[in-house]
Each structure stands twice: as C-alpha cells, then as structure tokens.
Structure 1
Amino acid sequence: MQMQVVGLTTPQEVYVASKDRKFRINELLVLEDLYQGNLIGEVVESNSYNRFIPLSIGSSIHDADVLESLKHLGYSISEDEINIAKVKLITEASFPVVTGSSVRLPAFDEVRGHLLKGVREDGLLLGEIKNTEETAATMEDDLKGLCEMFSGGKLYKTKNVPFFLDLRSFQQYPHIGVFGGSGSGKSFGLRVIMEEIMKHGFPALMLDPHYEMEFSESQESSEEKRDFKDNFRKFQIGEHIGVEFLNLSRGDLLALLSAVSPLTEAMSSAIESLHLRGDTYLSFSNRLELLSEALEMGRLRIEQALKQDMEPMEREKHVKMRQLLEEYQNIPLPSVQGIAWRLRRLHNSGLFSHDIKPVKEAMMQGKLAVIQGPIWLLQVFSTYLLSNIYRKRRDYKDGELKGEASGDYFPPFIIATDEAHNFAPKGRDAATKGIITEIAQEGRKYGVFLILATQRPTLLDETVTAQLNTKIIFRTVRASDIGTISEETDIKAEEARRLPYLPSGDAFVSSPLFGRTVAIRVRFPHTRSPHTQNPLDEIQLHRENSEDKLLEAIKPHLPIYAASFARAVEEINRQAGANYEVRTLKAALDTLVENGKLTRKASPLGDIYQMADIY
C-alpha cells in the first residue's frame, strides 16, 4: 500500500496520494521525511478520482504542482484511480516536507500522546475517536472494546481508539461546553458525561428543565448493565426541596424575587427596609399585606376607623396598620403590591415548604443531585442554591488557605445544565447569570466546574463561553452558531463546513489538552431517558390499553342492544369509573367491531353488539 507526499508542500500542510487506499477524514498518518524524521499529520480533506472525471475541475487540490508531481511519481492521470488527501501537520515542521516522502499508518505507540491524555483511571470515557481502527489494532488489549457504540441501527463493541476526557485536567482547563442542535445527540452526550462523573463518585449538581436526566433505567439492548440508582438522587423543587425562608439574607431574598420578575429600584429599596432579621414567610407576607392595606386606606381613614367601636382583633390590626404607615410612609403602594405578588408566586410553587439540606447531603456523599422543575422556577431556585453551595465551598477553601481550621468541609463539585443560554443569556439579565459568570471566572481555584449544554451557543453570554476550555460540538445548522463556535474554538474551516451534516452522535472536541480538534462518536449510554418512547408508539399503546379496559368493563353487559344503550352506559360508568355518553360509547363499540373484538348484528330493534368468536 503505497502512499506518498505530492505537490507543493509547506511546514503546515501537504497533499498525500495513493492508488490503493482511500483516505478518511480525521485519520492520522505518519510522514517519513528524510531530513526531519517522522511527522504526524491529520487528514482534513479527502478526494478520489479516476479517468472518467477530469482532474482540472473542482477543488483547489487539483493544481498544476500536484498533477506534475503525480506524473513524476509514476501515476497515470488518464487511467489510474487516484486518491488524494489534504493533510495538516499536528506540529508545524521546521521546513516544508520533502515531496515524494513515504506515508504510512501509525502504530498506536507512535500517536499515543495525540490520542490519549492522562491516566485511563482518571478519564471520562465518552466514546471513540473516529477512523482509528487500524491504529487501534496495535493497542494494548485493556484498551480495546471498552464501550458500546450504536450506529446504523446496530449495537456493537468499539473497534476504534477510546476517547477519554481527563478529569484531572479540569484543574488546569476547567469547564465544558456541549453545543448541538435538536436531534444532534447533544442530550445523549450530556447523559454519557454525567454517567462517567457518577462512576468516579465526583459530587455534581444537574439542573434538569426537561425532566429527562433519570439514571435508574438501564438500556434493555445493552450488554453492559450499569446500575446508577445509588449514585444519584432526584429532587423536584417544591416537592422535595426548597428554600427555608428564615435563613434567607436580604441579598438572597432580593435575588429570589428578582428572578420571578425584575425589580424596580423602588422595590429593591422597599425590600431592604421591610425585611427584618428573623423573618419567617408568614411574618414578612403579613407585614406586606398590612402595609398594602394601610397605604390603600390612608392615615385619615385608619384614624376614623379607630374611633369607631370594633372587635379587639380588628382594632389591633388597625393599630398595627397605623404603626406600619408611620414607619414606611415613603414606600409607594405599587412597590409593595409588586413585592407581594412575586412573594405569593414563589410560595404557591412550594418553594418555601422545604430546604436544600437533602441536596447538600447527596453531594457530600459524592452523588449526583438532579434538580427538576419548570425553567422559571429552576432559575429562581438555582440562584439561591448555587450561591449557597459555592459560598460554602469558597469559604472552606479560603479558610484553609489562611490556615484557619474549619470543620465545615464541603467538597469540590461540578454544576451541569441543559438550556444553559436561559441561565446565562447574552445581552440581557437573568437571576442566575451573576453566579454562573462568577463560577466560570473563579471556580477553578475552588474546585468548582461547569458543564453547560445549549442548542444556541450564540445566545450564551460571551464571558461564560470564553471560559469553557473544552467544547464538545455536535451537529449545528445555524450560521450564527457555527460562526460563534469557529471564533471560540480551534475548529478548522473544513470541520466547520461539516458541522451541519454530522450524523447524530458524532461530535468535534476542541480542547487545549489535545491541542487540536478531535472527531469522536459518543458511546451508547448505559441508561435511558424516560422520553425515548416514540409518540406514535405512545398513541397506539394508549389506544390498545383503552380498548382492552373498555372490553373488560362491558363483558358483563353483553350482548348490548341499541334500545338499552342508556342503561348500559349508566352501569358501565358506575362500575368502571368511566364517563361515557350514549354517543361516545356507541363510537367506542364500533371501533371494537372494526378491530375484530366485537361483532355487530342488525335486528328489527336496532344493532346488537356481541363478543367476537375469537374471544
């Protein structure tokens, strides 16, 4: 299998030709330069030609230097099939590569440093490096077949070099961005990352607006059964966790209320005055309601009311209103009403019914804590939660650096979220934006790291995007998003052009750890999302279950005569807990007839419905 360097070369890139072998994008080759020794290059463009297609058309690869070089090396331009690859050197050469140099496939040990980083035991096994089968054949046996892959409707053991993301490198290159459009495999990629983090027992927090980060159900088709039930805990805001109002500082309360809807300056000022140390939800909300009523009544009407005869409790209320009016007379009524509305919305969501203690306990145990809720409530709650646990970790590390013994240990942790552009949007404020930006910029020194996934990297805050050292990029179609990715990564122009056409599950990984963009395919997850059922299957299953349930309910009443439909409906509804009418029951029975479960016979008194013979 002869492969040679052809055409005009530079210290950065060359063209390689072969009669026998077709080149694959992203595969590594060894260029045997007589003067510089062996050089490693990556295929970034691949073409194949034969005598039926003129070489003078198409890409810039077909220049006169390449053609002339091919002729001198013995290629028959008019007869041979010629395969040509554009190869970029991973490390720039000292001077241009010699034309005619031999090219071969590398053994694994020759490119180990370009494919594997760190120690396998400290790595997150995300999948395989594409187009490395030949190189993988020379690996050690303990690196072969480490994960399952899914492609073309088939599940198989990988034959490529495994791709590990070194967990220890987070200290030097923190934070991961996961970008990709709908159906690109982004959510599966995020699931795989979280599974790997759980394998290492690294404390993590996952904000899950889609209610899909469930890790208790294994993939039925997988041979690698992994049980993560003991590695994660799932919490729903307002049902399992919340905010203990008594422990809220004024800053926390301001952040929570502004997360519901932005606060005016007058509202912020009012909260500063109205919120007192030791306030419970009840005491604070009562103060707001009384002050609102007092401002509506006005001093004169309150004084007039106090001169009248009234119940002791009512008098006490009016006295309290007069006191509040004297103390807070400069606070405008709309501000008090705005604060009260925001507070009621938080209370109605169940936010003040619980605390965050279960989340902290799960993280202290090295588990993944999955926080679920609607996006607006996640924004509200995570503002408080992230600030609280980050402050706890930061205080511990600062105390340790100052030599102050502290018993309040809190471990390093990872924060992950989908729809990250909602939590740190570009060009507008969001309640969580401040804390996420702070962690993005300073979290590394405290051992706090981010994994942010989004379909729209263009909408993610630029300061945050710039801090995402490792970016995993799935299929992306929008030109604006591709432009953002090109600016923020070392992705090459050829790879950027391929982004709209990447198969689901394929991705480019741009990381300073590798010094280049690596093409990978994400492994098959060990667990499955609760949302994987096809909507068509769901409809069919629901229809079948409904029919079976109806059949069981009407069996005691068969045969059903048209004349006795009204009585049959009444009995079926009472016994089966259904809510049929004569019209809807007849339609349902006709459907059962069409499906062969009942028969319908005409009679002088109307139709008669009976059980089909097969039943």
Structure 2
Amino acid sequence: MGIMRIGYVVATATPFEFIATLDPERPVSLYDYVAVDHVEYDATNGEYINVRLLGQIVKLFRDPYSAKRDLPLYSVMKEVSDNILEVQIAKVKVLGYIYNGELRQPKHPPRIGTPVYLAENEEIAELFKIDGGLCVGRLASRDLEICLDLNGVKRHVAVIAATGSGKTWFSVVFIEELLKKGAKIVVVDPHGEYVPIKDSIYKLGPYSATVVKLSKHHVGDLMYKIGVLDSDPDALANAAGVPPGAKKIRYAIYLAWSYAKKVKKTTGKALGLSFLRQVLHTALRGETALNKLFQQYKVEGDFPMEDLKQLAKKDRHSIFSALMYLKKLQRLGVFSSKSTPLSKILADITIVNLAGVNEEVQDYVVSHIVNRIFQARVRHVRSLKGLKIPWPVVLVVEEAHRFAPPKTLRKTKSYEALSRVASEGRKFGVYLVIVSQRPSKVDPDVISQCQSQVIMRIVNPKDQEAVRESSELLAQEFLENLPGLDVGEAVVLGPLTRLPVVIRLRDRVLEYGGADIDLAKVWRIDKTADVLQLWRRIYNTPPSPSVILSASRLKILHKRRERNRIEVLLLDGDREVSVVIEDGRPICSVCGVGKPCPHVYKALEEAVEII
C-alpha cells in the first residue's frame, strides 16, 4: 500500500510499540511517521478488517550487524569499514488506525516480518486534523502544517523550555492565533518583553492592545493603581519592603490602615497612602495631636485610636520607621486612593508591564489583577452584582516560577490567585498559560493542573524530572530526546492535540523584546554622530569628506589613558603617528596642534566614549 517501503517489523511487537529494522540507505528521521498493513477485529460488525496502522519513530540508532554489542576495535574497523554490515534500528510507538473517521487503538500486535512503510502526508494530516485550530507551526519531520485544538486551552497550558529555546517565540505565535479566534488576553510581563506587540499589532489585524505599567519611567499607556484600602496591611508592608520579622513596624502600618478604613466607612472618602502617613506623622507629635485628628473624623469604637495612642507613647521609633517605609512605597506610584478600573485596562490584548518595580510589588500587582479578573468572571457566570467581564479571558504568565513557586520554597501572594485559577478557572472562563524556563521551581499543584504542555529543549535534570512528574502523557523516549530539540522545536501534548506531536514553530508576525543581545552588533555601534559632534566642538566646522575617507584607511595600533590624557597610536601606511588628546584638545605628532587632520578624526573615533 505504501509508496516507500523502508523496513520490517523484527522484534518486541505489542499493540503499543514495536522494533523495526530499516533500510540504512533510506531517508528516515527521528519523530517521522511510519505505517504497516494490519488486521484488526471489528467487534461491532463481527468481522476482521484490513487497516493501516500508524506509528511514530521515537528512538533511532545504527549498529554494526557483525559486531552486535561486542564492538570491534578501531584498528579492525579501519580495515573492514567499507564492507561491514550496518543495521538501522527504530523503536516505533503505535499511534493507532483511522476507521470510519475515528482514531482507534489496536488490540493485536503487528506480525513479525510485516513491511514498514513511510506514512503518506495525507495519512498524517488525517491524524492531526483540527477544524478552526491554532496553526502554530509544522511537523518537525515533515513539511506539514499542524494546528492545535482551541478547546484545549480550557484545560490550561504550560510552556516549558530552557532559556534561548524559543518559549517566548511560541508564546507570541500562540497569542497571534488566539487573537485571530477572538480571544481576550492578559499577559503578565515581568521584563517588558511583550511591550513591542503594542506597536506591531497592526500587522496582524485590527486588534486593540493596551500596555499597563507600574513605573512611570517605563513604557505603557497608563499606570496601574491599587487602592490602599482595597488591599490588606500585611501586603502593603511586604510591598514597602518591611522585613517579615519587623512586627512593630508592621503593627504601626496596620493601625494606620485600620483607622483609614474606619474613616472611609464614616465619611465615604477615598483615602490613600497620604492619609496613612498623616496618621503616623500625627502620632509622632504625641497624644494631643492624635486627639485633634480623631475629633476631626469621628468614628465609632476605641480601636484603633487607643492603640495608636499607646504606640505613640511607647515606640516612636517603630512609627518613624513605618512612616519611612510608606514614603518609599508612595514614591513608586502604584498604591493610590482608588484602584484603576478594569474597564480601562482590558483590550483584545492587555500587557501588564511589571518592569521597574521590586518583586514584592510585582507579586502583589499580579495577585490583585488576577483576583479582580477571576471575580469579574464569577459574577458574570453566576449573574451576581458588581463588575462583570462578559467574555472568557486567557492569562499568559511569563516567568511563572516567580509568581507561583513551590509552597515549601517561599510564599507569594500571587500563588494563591494563580492556584485558584488553575483549579477553578475552567468553570468560569479564565484560562491559564504559564511560561517558565524552570519547571522545577513552579509549584507542582499549579503545573499539574495545566493538562496541555508545550515542552521545548530542556537540559537541567531537575527540570526534566519536574516535567516527567507533571505529565502523564510524556513518554520516556520523548523525555530523553528533549536536550536534542532545536531552537523553535517543541513537543506538544495534552488536550491541545489528539496525539503527542513534535512541531517546528512558524515565523511570528508580532514583535517582542526577549531576543538575546547580538554582542557583535552592539559592540560595532556606529559612532559617527558622536565623533562629528566632538569635531564641531573642537574646530567649529564639520570634517571634510576627504578627512573622513582618509581616516577610514588608518589602523589603530594602541590606545592608552592616563587620567585626563588619552594617547592613540595609528599606522598611516608604513608610518606610525601619535595623537594625544588632553583636556579635550588633540595634538597630532605629524600635523601639529589645532590642525583638523585624518589622524585626529581616527583618534576621536577611539576616544569619543571616554571623552
């Protein structure tokens, strides 16, 4: 039946796998697909049927037939290498057979001696046929497009790869495909790598993109603000950098926060860090000042007013320290009197640019945003009062190990929010895509909830073990081959695909900023503009084209700096020329002082960064 016979079934034939000997001259590669003619019993009709059993090569090696396992010495091989009998052995994982449009698993093993054929593209395409799928790339072994099942996203996805293997590349391609299907996406971006998507979104289509930032010095459309009284005092202390053991400082913040909460309840005013600082500053001035403040805002009960008075008497140092921490926190600009409305930040894709703030603030912001999105979806599904999000949301969390580490390692605020989405998000239409280069440092409970996995090159044994423990579908052969994947290749398994598949990513359309720095390019930066500016400053006129051209022919032999003196030694033909630059004034050993010559221009190219 096959168009190319490549070998025969020779050993260990079971309904799940078999060993085949392949023609050493045939072009067969790891992960390629093969087929054998097979007979199965159809219980429905009570008859035997001829089927085409498909399999995937998961292990491939060559051996000298005559030597078996007692491999010959080099000297022997040298004499007989042209005549030695070579065998090519493949371990084939049985995938099943297509019958009446369904993929079925065989109940009988293929017979020993059955011919093995290279599977045809049409047969493979039928295996992975998905209508309206997410077309992220092609088979690693064939030029055949592979599309992933959109509904697989509902079971959450983990993207796992070593640094530089292409995990952000996959994430961007995945985002492109989701946007084409009308998805709403929120990306948690610790380093601002996804921010360039905003300026390149037009290449993909008429989609809206919003970049939310935490630092005013970084790129973004608007600042994300968290209402101080929407948070809890412990989280405020963590974000401000208060040490966990500084209980008295934390207590002072707690009292100021509690009083602000009561004042808000009484007056209806939105209060922020400025009010908390005012309370603590008043406490430093003593009980009389506090009484005047309490009279201004009359609230019920004695707490926390009496506690503030006692603290003001006994521990002014803790109050002063708490005041300094809150001042530092206010300077960040993240905490305010009111939280930024979700309606302002949500677009087709929202990128939360976390760059520019410490990990504690990042942790709290992620927790805050994820909880708000989850609660808005719960309200929509259950028809409850309050802000609702009417469409499902995909949360892409880059560097997930920062936000959801194992509970035994450290505790984060965002872990609680992400863990809840992982366990309950499917019911309410909040789907998780976690991205990490260190799966061993992601909480096992979170990663195990991601039933679909995209696994790229992984070298670290601990990370390989974490992947194996979190995935029931990853065969040992795939695990062993993970270090050998090329950049942009990935094993995809779980609900995203009918069968585990090795793909090669397609080119992306959107831009991202996560690529490695090209050192050769960076260190070869054109300094012409800086040299021209320096030349004008020295000579009050631009250099002539002939000077620039002549300077390009000169070679640098040596340069040396001593305090404010820079000496550059040049080679002009066979002649050595010295240019000394001292206090910004160049002196050429050939052309003299103050003369605009090619030697000075060349020396300025070398010295411009220092000057």
Calculate the TM-score normalised by the size of structure 1: 0.72
Aligned match of 1:204: 185
Matched, 1:102 2:115: yes
Structure 1 Cα separation of the partners of residues 236 and 177 of structure 2: 33
Structure 2 Cα separation of the partners of residues 431 and 335 of structure 1: 25
Q: Which amino acid aligns with 2:57?
A: V
Q: 258, 265, 269: which one pairs with 1:273?
A: 258
Residues 462 and 318 (structure 1), Cα distance of their counterparts in 2 relative to 1, 3 Å cut: closer
Aligned residues of 2:34 and 2:56 also touching (Cα < 8 A): yes
Aligned residues of 1:601 and 1:609 also touching (Cα < 8 A): no
SS in structure 1 of the partner of residue 56 of structure 2 = strand
Aligned match of 1:556: 540
The number of equivalent residue pairs is 512
Q: Which amino acid aligns with 1:360?
A: S
Q: Which amino acid aligns with 1:4?
A: Y
Instruction: Give 1:251-262 correspondences, 5 Å limit.
Output: 251=232, 254-261=234-241
Q: 485, 488, 497: which one pairs with 2:470?
A: 488
Gapped runs of 5+ residues in structure 2? 42-50, 72-81, 97-104, 217-221, 544-560, 580-584, 603-611
Matched, 1:412 2:383: no
Aligned match of 1:61: none
SS in structure 1 of the partner of residue 203 of structure 2 = coil
SS in structure 2 of the partner of residue 443 of structure 1 = helix
Q: 342, 362, 367: which one pairs with 2:349?
A: 367
Matched, 1:460 2:438: no
Give 1 or 2: higher helix fraction: 1
Q: 135, 159, 162: which one pairs with 1:178?
A: 159
Structure 2 Cα separation of the partners of residues 554 and 273 of structure 1: 64
Structure 2 Cα separation of the partners of residues 40 and 475 of structure 1: 26
Matched, 1:25 2:39: no
> Cα distance, 1:50 vs. partner?
5.3
Structure 2 Cα separation of the partners of residues 128 and 13 of structure 1: 25
> Cα distance, 1:231 vs. partner?
3.3
SS in structure 2 of the partner of residue 14 of structure 1 = strand
* Deviation digits for residues 265-321 of structure 1 (CA, Å, limit 9, x no counterpart): 773663663331343332222112222x15xx5x6xx6xxx9xxxxxxx99579989
Calculate the TM-score normalised by the size of structure 2: 0.73
Aligned match of 2:609: none
Aligned match of 2:211: 234
Q: 321, 346, 368: which one pairs with 2:329?
A: 346
Aligned residues of 1:126 and 1:165 also touching (Cα < 8 A): yes
Matched, 1:284 2:266: no
Aligned match of 1:564: none
> Cα distance, 1:511 vs. partner?
1.3
Aligned residues of 1:7 and 1:15 also touching (Cα < 8 A): yes
* Deviation digits for residues 537-580 of structure 1 (CA, Å, limit 9, x no counterpart): 22321544433432344342699xxxxxxxxxxxxxxxxxxxxx
Q: Which amino acid aligns with 1:131?
A: S
Structure 2 Cα separation of the partners of residues 405 and 245 of structure 1: 20
> Cα distance, 1:23 vs. partner?
2.7
Q: 49, 54, 58: which one pairs with 1:44?
A: 58
Aligned residues of 1:215 and 1:229 also touching (Cα < 8 A): no
Aligned residues of 2:185 and 2:349 also touching (Cα < 8 A): yes
* Deviation digits for residues 141-171 of structure 1 (CA, Å, limit 9, x no counterpart): xxxxxxxxxxxxxxxxxxx222222223323
Structure 2 Cα separation of the partners of residues 368 and 339 of structure 1: 34
SS in structure 2 of the partner of residue 85 of structure 1 = strand
Aligned match of 1:115: 128
Residues 501 and 344 (structure 1), Cα distance of their counterparts in 2 relative to 1, 3 Å cut: farther
Structure 2 Cα separation of the partners of residues 516 and 524 of structure 1: 23
Structure 1 Cα separation of the partners of residues 337 and 537 of structure 2: 43
* Deviation digits for residues 123-143 of structure 1 (CA, Å, limit 9, x no counterpart): 2222112112xxxxxxxxxxx
Aligned match of 2:14: 10
Could you tell which deviates more after superposition, 17-26 or 366-375? 366-375
> Cα distance, 1:57 vs. partner?
4.7
Aligned residues of 1:256 and 1:383 also touching (Cα < 8 A): no
Aligned residues of 1:599 and 1:611 also touching (Cα < 8 A): no
SS in structure 2 of the partner of residue 391 of structure 1 = helix
Matched, 1:546 2:526: no
Aligned match of 1:151: none
SS in structure 1 of the partner of residue 54 of structure 2 = strand
Could you tell which deviates more after superposition, 586-595 or 20-29? 586-595
Identity in percent: 21
> Cα distance, 1:233 vs. partner?
1.9
Matched, 1:378 2:365: no
> Cα distance, 1:342 vs. partner?
4.3
Q: 392, 396, 402: which one pairs with 2:376?
A: 392
SS in structure 2 of the partner of residue 39 of structure 1 = strand
Residues 439 and 582 (structure 1), Cα distance of their counterparts in 2 relative to 1, 3 Å cut: same
Residues 542 and 330 (structure 1), Cα distance of their counterparts in 2 relative to 1, 3 Å cut: farther
Q: 406, 416, 433: which one pairs with 1:451?
A: 433
Aligned residues of 1:599 and 1:609 also touching (Cα < 8 A): no
Q: Which amino acid aligns with 1:425?
A: P
> Cα distance, 1:14 vs. partner?
0.8
> Cα distance, 1:455 vs. partner?
1.4
SS in structure 1 of the partner of residue 413 of structure 2 = coil
Aligned match of 1:519: 502
Matched, 1:128 2:110: no
Instruction: Give 1:300-315 correspondences, 5 Å limit.
Output: none
Aligned residues of 2:33 and 2:55 also touching (Cα < 8 A): yes
Residues 341 and 473 (structure 1), Cα distance of their counterparts in 2 relative to 1, 3 Å cut: farther
Residues 455 and 585 (structure 1), Cα distance of their counterparts in 2 relative to 1, 3 Å cut: same
Structure 1 Cα separation of the partners of residues 373 and 40 of structure 2: 57
Gapped runs of 5+ residues in structure 1? 59-76, 133-159, 220-224, 307-313, 560-580
SS in structure 1 of the partner of residue 458 of structure 2 = coil
Structure 1 Cα separation of the partners of residues 529 and 495 of structure 2: 54
